[in-house]
Structure 1
Amino acid sequence: MSTEMMQAMVVAAPGAPLTAVQTRVPVPGPGEVLVRVRACGLNFADTLLVAGKYQVRPEMPFAPGMEIAGVVEQVGEGVTRLPLGARVAAYAGYGGLAEWAVVPADRCAVVPEGMPDTVAAGFLIAYGTSHIALGWVAKLRPGETLLVLGASGGVGLTAVELGARMGARVIAVARGPERQAIAERAGASVLLDASADIRAEVKALGGADVVYDPVGGELAEAALRATRPRARILPIGFASGGVPQYPANLLLVKDLSVLGVHFGAWADHSPEAVRGCFETLFAWWRLGRLAPHVSNVLPLAEAEAGLDLLRRRQATGKVVVEIAG
């Protein structure tokens, strides 16, 4: 057991605010690495995690923070792929809002030279989810119409960007001109306000071949009814709080497919595919084909404020907590 101490932001009970504590630096086990955390990317799923409403429920108290960027400082038994001192981004699951974190080595990716920690910390989950959803699951084709709900949010914005890079016509749904402008810069061809009649507007544009939905609720219902025959619907999350119920009769008569995408499950059952996904995405970043959007960078002591930005859906792109320089 390590005797060295570190600062962490932890949740002690479901729904409680984060509090700063001193706790022991963790020790990596077989197949794991100890990372000195420099930045932690926050995701909407972190808000569910601290509320006790996520599918993964760590024993409390624990530090949330699903993805990190930092430096490998210690490796566990059997780890040969990552040398000491390597700059990595990692999908930790939780534990990222701390000065050190232990993560499985196969969930780490070496960060390209020149990529800032604040960008690397928010890169894997958002871009990884969209790349797997659009490329691997929906098999989006050039010339198809992609409808993205929540298009200025963390994952939605990456779906706009990747969809456009894959040759799709992207219809971006976002609330207000400022958020729509962000989606337009990412590559959206058509901009719709979230308050519009999405069903009527999208049908007038010919309908959607693929729906990327991190929002759920009423928007999900409208998007479903704006699909073309044989469309693919991708439930990514439920930021609105409403979990859509897809009527089987409509799926049948329109020959629709509903294809759930859970990044954490892919990391568990297909780690090689996920690593290949990261290699592709980092290569695109090095070539200047991706432009990650970080809207807020906060210090560790203000991590609760970062989660609140996500709860109130006030952020665009990613919210990142900077832990060490």
Structure 2
Amino acid sequence: MSKLMRAIRVGEFGPPSVLRLCSDVPVPQPGQRQVLIRVHACGVNPVETYIRSGMFARKPNLPYTPGTDAAGVVEAVGEGVTALKAGDRVFTTGSETGAYAEFTVAAEDCVHKLPDALDFTQGAAIGVPYFTAYRALIHKAYAKAGQTVLIHGASGGEATGGKGIDLIIEMLSNVNLSKDLQMLAYGGRVMIVGSRGPIEIDPRDTMFKESSITGVALYCATPEQKQECAAFLCAGMEAGWLRPVVGSKYPVDKASQAHHDIIKSPGAAGKIVLTM
């Protein structure tokens, strides 16, 4: 008989109330080049609310356990895994069985050792936000030292002395994109990281400045690009200058409240995490 665990399950797409804690979910087993992690904390990302609602382009098969980002301790490893062993403190950016659970399975190349200086809630806060930021800034925008960067597409061009902004990381493009294009410097770029719907823009705002709009999706990154990002972030954590900021913490049975709050409280400081 397989061991059972607690996990959030989604049996139908809909509002936060469809997130239900079940205590009879079989513990997944690691396969070839996979790692089984005992989850201590998992991150809650806005995209998970879109998937849960059924509004996301890619829909998982029902029922499913949400979440990709988790931190905990390696419970077991599958055949072929050499870089990790049972007992290692780790975080993952790519749970394959769902992170909102007591145990999760992830591919070896998506599991990274968690520095001792960080706790598990900080480890759970790394994943999608930090890897997406690196991909947007480095892989897609080719950001360089000395350039002016605006996060989220907030208003206010005065800070650049009238020169405009070189690079905007846009989290809510359906609200801000038109204004973003007007704030850009010549040759400026807008990186689309998030959007909740359509928006009308004037293409002439891109013509006169020869600016560009680029979409960013973490799942499009190659394994090599993900490893590059992981190496950079882990080096920063080891050196002490990168310390993930954790916001509200919820026990796993309050996952529906976490989903409600992440949408209703935009701009809140720190990553929302669930604890086991």
TM-score (norm 1): 0.78
Q: CA deviation at 1:113?
A: 1.7
Partner of 2:193: 236
Contact 1:202–1:226 under 8 Å retained in 2: no
Q: CA deviation at 1:50?
A: 0.6
Choose from 44, 67, 70 the match for 1:68: 70
Choose from 166, 173, 177 the match for 1:209: 166
Contact 2:148–2:160 under 8 Å retained in 1: no
Output aligned runs, 1:142-291, within 5 Å: 142-149=145-152, 173=154, 198=155, 201=158, 205-238=162-195, 241-244=196-199, 247-266=202-221, 270-291=222-243
Partner of 1:45: 47
Q: CA deviation at 1:264?
A: 1.9
Partner of 2:116: 113
Q: CA deviation at 1:244?
A: 4.0
Change (3 A) 1:127 1:203: same
Q: Distance in 1 between matches of 2:126 and 2:157?
A: 34
SS at match of 2:208: helix
Contact 1:8–1:23 under 8 Å retained in 2: yes
Q: Distance in 2 between matches of 1:71 and 1:56?
A: 30
Contact 1:148–1:211 under 8 Å retained in 2: yes
Q: Distance in 2 between matches of 1:29 and 1:245?
A: 47
SS at match of 1:33: strand
Q: CA deviation at 1:49?
A: 1.3
Paired amino acid for 1:219: N
Structure 1: gaps (5+ residues) = 151-172, 174-197
Choose from 82, 85, 99 the match for 2:84: 82
Paired amino acid for 2:80: G
Q: Give me the identity figure in percent.
A: 30
Output aligned runs, 1:290-305, within 5 Å: 290-305=242-257
Partner of 2:128: 125
Q: CA deviation at 1:66?
A: 1.8
Q: Distance in 2 between matches of 1:43 and 1:317?
A: 11
Contact 2:177–2:201 under 8 Å retained in 1: no
SS at match of 2:115: coil
Q: CA deviation at 1:246?
A: 5.2
Paired amino acid for 2:182: R
Contact 1:73–1:85 under 8 Å retained in 2: yes
Structure 2: gaps (5+ residues) = none
**Equivalenced residues, count:** 271
Partner of 1:310: 262
Q: Distance in 1 between matches of 2:201 and 2:110?
A: 33
Contact 1:36–1:100 under 8 Å retained in 2: yes
Paired amino acid for 1:127: Y
Q: Distance in 1 between matches of 2:175 and 2:118?
A: 38
Paired amino acid for 1:243: P
Partner of 1:187: none
Q: Distance in 2 between matches of 1:55 and 1:246?
A: 23
Paired amino acid for 1:261: V
Q: What does the per-residue CA deviation read over 1:87-132, in whole Å, with 9 as the maximum and x for residues that have no partner?
A: 1111235610010111111111111122100000111221111112
Q: Distance in 2 between matches of 1:213 and 1:202?
A: 18
SS at match of 2:215: coil
Change (3 A) 1:56 1:109: farther
Contact 1:8–1:98 under 8 Å retained in 2: yes
Q: Distance in 1 between matches of 2:200 and 2:226?
A: 29
